[in-house]
Amino acid sequence: MNFEYARYLTTQAYLASHWSLADQITRAAGRILCTEGPVKNAAKTPNLWQHFMKNGESAPWLTVHVLKECYGWPIGVSYIVRNHFTHEGGVGDGWGFFESSAVADGFIVSDNAWRYLIDKAKKEYKVRPEQARCASIDPMGKRKLDEILALCHAEMDDALGVLILSASALAEAYAGVLHE
């Protein structure tokens, strides 16, 4: 298998695995935190982007606000990359996602793909670079997807921790009230 195909499959598998785990964690927390609609809809159970980042209509305002303001940028960028590789095959309209097919270029994101990510994050996903706890998702300015996703997913893991703690605190509060 050539490098270009291996890189594509590796990227797609990594993103699918990470987001699948995030969906499972969010589904569990969402059963406690979300309103009845997404909890009872087996076809569209709570997920991190749709229910806790995008509009937050079915989740507690403070939880949505904290998650979006503290983690919106890295989670949004990761979700855009995930969707691009899952639904669009990792290619754009006349451009490839990576700088080149050469092994030496590794996971460097092309100029067109970088503009696509930034524009889509700001315009369609309505997230900004300030909505992150890390200083930058690309602190060295190298546009290396593996390093960018490592930072994005470290932030996502922290956000999932906030979600789990929020759900646990609420469940503990209900248990305390009901036990009295």
Q: What is the pLDDT of residues 108-148, one digit of tens each?
A: 999 999 999 999 999 999 999 999 998 888 888 899 999 99
- In the beta sheet, which residues pair with residue 96? 91
Region 152-161 average pLDDT: 96
Q: Which of the four pLDDT bands, split at 50, 70 and 90, describes residue 1?
A: confident
The pTM score is: 0.90
- What is the model's pLDDT at position 47? 84
Tokens of 95: 């451009």
Distance CA 145, CA 113 (A): 11
pLDDT value for 166: 92
Q: What is the pLDDT of residues 74-97, one digit of tens each?
A: 999 999 999 999 999 888 888 999
Q: Do residues 54 and 121 make contact, with C-beta atoms less than 8 angstroms apart?
A: no
Is residue 44 over pLDDT 80?
Answer: no
